[in-house]
C-alpha cells in the first residue's frame, strides 16, 4: 500500500474519531489495528464539536473529508425514509451549503483562465457566492448586454484531492475483494472504476456545458423541463457561464405551497421527465438532488422544472435500455416469470438459474407493493431486497446501471417530498409503453434502415472486387483458406476417442448378449458364460460412463 494512501486512511479515521463518530470507526474492520492510536490521543477526548448533534457532527466530518464524501452525504440526504430525521436535516445542508472558498480566489482563477481581466468579459461579478458545492461554487454576474448569468468555478486543488481519494477507494475495494468473499458479487473494483469516470468528468466544465446543451436540445419546446442557455464564448475547462434561473428551489415546500403549486402535477411531471430521459432520449441528468432542481411558477397549475448542474449525466447501452424497459413493464403487469426470464437473458444472473425459483422470489418482493401510494413504498427497500434475492441466484451487480439506480432513488425522494400519494407505476407505465411501441413502429424501422444504409452500401460496393479476386486466385490455384491445425488435431483426437468408446460399448453389449444366450441355451461350462457376461457388463458400463463424462 502506498504511503500516501495509508496516510489518507489514517486521516479518515482521525476525522471520524475527532467528530465523535466512534460507531463508524468500530464498524470499519480495515481500521481496527489503528484504532488504539486515536482513542488514546488527548484530542479524542477534548473536542470542540462535542456538544453538536450527531447529524451536525456527521455533516462536518463529511465536509472535512472532501468532495467525494460530501457527494455521498448529498445522495443520502434525498432518502429521508432511510434516515433518522435529524441526520437527514443536516445532510440536506450539503446540497448547496458547503463552506465556500474566498471570492477573490475565484476571481483570480477566472482571470487566469481568460488570460485577461474579468471586467472585460463580465460585469457586476459578485464575490460572495450564491451557493457552494463539493466540486465548485457559483457566483452571480451579468453579460455586457445586461443578461443575468451565473459563473461556476472549480474549487482550487480539486483534481489532486479527488485522485487521492479515488486511489483510496481502489485500495479499499481491492481489500474487500481479497478478504471478504461476499463483496465479489458486488464487483467493488468495477463500481469504483465507474465512479472514477463520473467524478473526473465533473472536473471538466466544458463537458458539463456540452451536457447542458444536449439536454436543452432534447427538451426544446417542452412544458415539463427548462434547461438554461450556455454562453460558450465565456466557458473554459474550469469556468462555466450560463443563464441564471430565477426559480424556487424545489426543497422550499413552504414557498411553493404559499404560491399555490399543484404538487400532484409537479410530482408526476418529475417521474415523466426521468423516464423520458432514460428511455426516449437515452441521456439523463444523474445528479437530481434538491439543490440542483428549481421550479418555475409562471402558472402554479402548470409548474415547470428547471435543472442546473449537469456534471453527471448517464446513458445506457441499447441492450440494457431494452431489458430495463421490459423489466419495468413486466413488473407493472405483474408478469414475474417474464422478469425472471429477462434477468437470465440479459446475463444479470447465471444462465443455469431456475426461472421458476427466481419468479417466486421476485413475486415475493414485488407483489406487496402494488396498489399502494408512494408514501407506503420504498424503492430503496425494494432494491435492497432484490439484491438479497439475486445473491441467492449468484446475480451480479451491473456497474453500468448504478447511475440509473442512484437517479431513480433521487426521483423517488423528490416525489415523496412533494406528493406522498403519487402512483409512480401509473405515471411511468404510459411513457414506457409508448417508447416500446415507437421502437417497433414502421417509422422507427425505416429510420434504422436509413441510418444503416450507407454502411450496407459500402459493404455491397466492396463485394464485387473481393469476389472477383477470390475467383482469380481459385483459377490460378492460389486460393488458400487459413486453418487452425491445432484445433483440427484436437478435433481428430476427440473423434478417434469417441469412436473407441463406441466400439467398447458395442463389444461389451455383444459379450453381454452372448452370455445371456449361453445361459439361456444351458450350455456348459456355466462359469465361462458368467465370465463373458461380467466382462461385457463391466466394459459396457465403463465405456458408457466415459462417454457421459
Q: Which residues are catalytic?
A: 287
- Return the C-alpha cell found at 246: 430565477
Q: Classify strands 225-226 and 304-307 as parallel, antiparallel or unpaired.
A: parallel
The Cα–Cα gap between 184 and 400 comes to: 16
Other Cβ atoms closer than 10 A to 94: 25
The Cα–Cα gap between 280 and 273 comes to: 10
Helix (H, G, I), strand (E, B) or coil at 314: strand
The Cα–Cα gap between 152 and 157 comes to: 15
In sequence order, the 6+-apart residues with CB closer than 8 A to the CB of 527 are: none
- Buried b / exposed e over 43-77, threshold 16 CB at 10 Å, is eeeeeeeeebeebbbbbbbbbbbbbbbbbebbbbb
Other Cβ atoms closer than 10 A to 538: 13
Quick one: which of 294, 221, 285, 216 has its CA closest to 251? 294
The Cα–Cα gap between 237 and 204 comes to: 5
- Element spanning 425, H or E: helix 424-439
Place of cell 468473499: 181
Amino acid at each position: 500500500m502506498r504511503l500516501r494512501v495509508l496516510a489518507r486512511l489514517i486521516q479518515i479515521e482521525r476525522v471520524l474519531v475527532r467528530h465523535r463518530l466512534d460507531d463508524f470507526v468500530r464498524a470499519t474492520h480495515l481500521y481496527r489495528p489503528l484504532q488504539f492510536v486515536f482513542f488514546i490521543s488527548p484530542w479524542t477526548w477534548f473536542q470542540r464539536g462535542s456538544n453538536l448533534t450527531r447529524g451536525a457532527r456527521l455533516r462536518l466530518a463529511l465536509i472535512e473529508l472532501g468532495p467525494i464524501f460530501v457527494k455521498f452525504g448529498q445522495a443520502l440526504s434525498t432518502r429521508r425514509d432511510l434516515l433518522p430525521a435529524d441526520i437527514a436535516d443536516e445532510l440536506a445542508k450539503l446540497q448547496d451549503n458547503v463552506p465556500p472558498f474566498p471570492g477573490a480566489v475565484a476571481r483570480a482563477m477566472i482571470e487566469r483562465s481568460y488570460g485577461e481581466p474579468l471586467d472585460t468579459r463580465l460585469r457586476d461579478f459578485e464575490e460572495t457566492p450564491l451557493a457552494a458545492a463539493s466540486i465548485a461554487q457559483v457566483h452571480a454576474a451579468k453579460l455586457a448586454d445586461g443578461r443575468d448569468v451565473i459563473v461556476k468555478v472549480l474549487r482550487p486543488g480539486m483534481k489532486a484531492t479527488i485522485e487521492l481519494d479515488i486511489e483510496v477507494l481502489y485500495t479499499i475495494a481491492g481489500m474487500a475483494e481479497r478478504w471478504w468473499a461476499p463483496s465479489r458479487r458486488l464487483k467493488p473494483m468495477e463500481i469504483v472504476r465507474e465512479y472514477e469516470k463520473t467524478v473526473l468528468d465533473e472536473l471538466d466544465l466544458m463537458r458539463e456545458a456540452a451536457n447542458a446543451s444536449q439536454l436543452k436540445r432534447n427538451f426544446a419546446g417542452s412544458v415539463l423541463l427548462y434547461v438554461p442557455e450556455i454562453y460558450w464564448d465565456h466557458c473554459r475547462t474550469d469556468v462555466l457561464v450560463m443563464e441564471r434561473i430565477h426559480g424556487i428551489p424545489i426543497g422550499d415546500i413552504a414557498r411553493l405551497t404559499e404560491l399555490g403549486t399543484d404538487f400532484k402535477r409537479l410530482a408526476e411531471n418529475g417521474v415523466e421527465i426521468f423516464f423520458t430521459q432514460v428511455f426516449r432520449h437515452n441521456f439523463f441528468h444523474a445528479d437530481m438532488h434538491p439543490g440542483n432542481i428549481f421550479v418555475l411558477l409562471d402558472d402554479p397549475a402548470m409548474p415547470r422544472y428547471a435543472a442546473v448542474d449537469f456534471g453527471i449525466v448517464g446513458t445506457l447501452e441499447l441492450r440494457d435500455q431494452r431489458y430495463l424497459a421490459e423489466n419495468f413493464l413486466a413488473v407493472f403487469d405483474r408478469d414475474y416469470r417474464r422478469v425472471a426470464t429477462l434477468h437470465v437473458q440479459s446475463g444479470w444472473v447465471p444462465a443455469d438459474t431456475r426461472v421458476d425459483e427466481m419468479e417466486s422470489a421476485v413475486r415475493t418482493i414485488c407483489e406487496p407493493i402494488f396498489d399502494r401510494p408512494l408514501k407506503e413504498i420504498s424503492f430503496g427497500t425494494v432494491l435492497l431486497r432484490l439484491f438479497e434475492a439475486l445473491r441467492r441466484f449468484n446475480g451480479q451487480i451491473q456497474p453500468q446501471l448504478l447511475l440509473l439506480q442512484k437517479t431513480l432513488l433521487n426521483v423517488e425522494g423528490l416525489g415523496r417530498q412533494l406528493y406522498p400519494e403519487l402512483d409512480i407505476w401509473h405515471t411511468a407505465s404510459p411513457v414506457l409503453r409508448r417508447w416500446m411501441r415507437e421502437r417497433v413502429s414502421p417509422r422507427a424501422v425505416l429510420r434504422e434502415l436509413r441510418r444503416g444504409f450507407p454502411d450496407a452500401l459500402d459493404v455491397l460496393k466492396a463485394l464485387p472486387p473481393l469476389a472477383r479476386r477470390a475467383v482469380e486466385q481459385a483459377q490460378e490455384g492460389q486460393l488458400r483458406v487459413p486453418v487452425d491445425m491445432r484445433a483440427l488435431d484436437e478435433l481428430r483426437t476427440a473423434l478417434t476417442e469417441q469412436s473407441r468408446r463406441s466400439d467398447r460399448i458395442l463389444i461389451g453389449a455383444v459379450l453381454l448378449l452372448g452370455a445371456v444366450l449361453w445361459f439361456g441355451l444351458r450350455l456348459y461350462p456355466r462359469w465361462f458364460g458368467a465370465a463373458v457376461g461380467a466382462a461385457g457388463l463391466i466394459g459396457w458400463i465403463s465405456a458408457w460412463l466415459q462417454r457421459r463424462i
